[in-house]
Amino acid sequence: MAVITSVEVFMVMLEPKVRREDAIQAFVCQETPFVRITDSDGAQGLGYSYTIGTGGPAVLSLLEKTLAPALLGKEADEIEQRWRELLFLTHATSVGAITSLALATIDTALWDLRCKRSNQPLWIAAGGAQSRIPLYNTEGGWLNLSTSELVENALECQENGFAATKMKVGLSIKEDMSRLRAVREAVGDNFEIFTDANQAFRVDEAIRRAHHYEELDIGWLEEPLPADDLQGHIRLSQQTSVPIAVGESIYSTLHFREYLQQNACSVVQVDVARIGGITPWLKVAHLAECFNIAVCPHFLMELHVSLCAAVPNARWLEYIPQLDTLTHQPMQVENGYGLPPSSPGLGIDWDLRALERHTQPGSYQRLTR
């Protein structure tokens, strides 16, 4: 065990590789807050979170002025205690996205540090339940793409060994069904098609659309309603055979408990950044396991591949490459499966020079004991 002697905070800006539009927004940039923690033995851990274009400076400010100073002099390996201390320190701004993203940046750094000190990859240290995770591709399913592009992308995924794709929905029912039907006819019945509404619908519309989607054997309907509409999700789940997926916009373990207790979802998509880090992510995953519910996390495939491999009920990993410009090697993919890295720590092969080049001017701060 060793105490924390310095905390560095900075933010990297990343442009999406492709144009990304869904039913409510466009993904214009990824603000990526980073934290590097150094302990008294000289060991370091590097953690990160993300936004899709707004809120990054607020996350950075919370890290610099409140959370990072509270870490100095504390034992780095007491991750659960550190997480709870920081959560209490920010209890006036919890539960919420800004606080969760800041907590996640620190928590992932602490896990990276712990795993490096113990010379273990994250997926082993956190459970070691499975050695590969099937991938589904979202990059070819954005709402701005034409039907022909959707079909072409789905067929390419199939040829590359993927067993599933995800398509954004939120146009008219007629347009959505036409696009979905074209892809289903192209890929056949033994290929999963998932849908994602990004919280765009009201309850009556979601029920109506779900009945239409049943015809095409859709694998799930993701975020059909605002994430805080628990009763709406209960009504919807009771009236369709399409599995309902939620989680990327849920920021508390207790909120996940309510969804699971009320049978309001069939798939849990807990996001390691938005739930506040690896520490609460594992709790949600194991909670879902107790309800015999699959975990299929949102985004951040380079980090989620290890977490999915750590737990037994992870079913799918979302394929959206985003860190290639910041790493020496991308996540390993083999025959449509994501493979967790064997190197100690988070297993992300960061290119430190690239991180420096992409760091937003004026965002770097270093706090020392």
Catalytic residues: 168, 298
Distinct helix (H) and strand (E) counts, the chain: 13, 14
Provide the edge-to-edge strand list for the sheet that holds 365-368: 44-48, 30-39, 4-14, 365-368
Question: Is residue 54 a contact partner of residue 29, using CB atoms and an 8 Å limit?
Answer: no
Cα 47 from Cα 279, distance rounded (Å): 13
Peptide bond preceding 95 in cis form (omega within 30 of 0): yes
Take residue 144 and report the two structure tokens written for it.
Answer: 């701005």
Among residues 142, 183, 137, 167, which one has the least CA distance to residue 19?
Answer: 142
Among residues 6, 7, 15, 67, which one has the least CA distance to residue 322?
Answer: 15
Helix (H) or strand (E) holding 45: strand 44-48
Reduced to 3 states (helix: H, G, I; strand: E, B; else coil), residue 136 is strand
Burial class (CB in 10 A: 0-12, 13-18, 19+), 186: middle
Tell me the three-class secondary structure of 179-215, residue by residue. Answer: HHHHHHHHHCCCCEEEEECCCCCCHHHHHHHHHHHHC
Helix (H) or strand (E) holding 31: strand 30-39
Question: Is residue 164 a contact partner of residue 191, using CB atoms and an 8 Å limit?
Answer: yes
Cα 313 from Cα 260, distance rounded (Å): 15
Question: Is residue 19 a contact partner of residue 142, using CB atoms and an 8 Å limit?
Answer: yes
Residue type, position 76, single letter:
A
Cα 331 from Cα 340, distance rounded (Å): 8
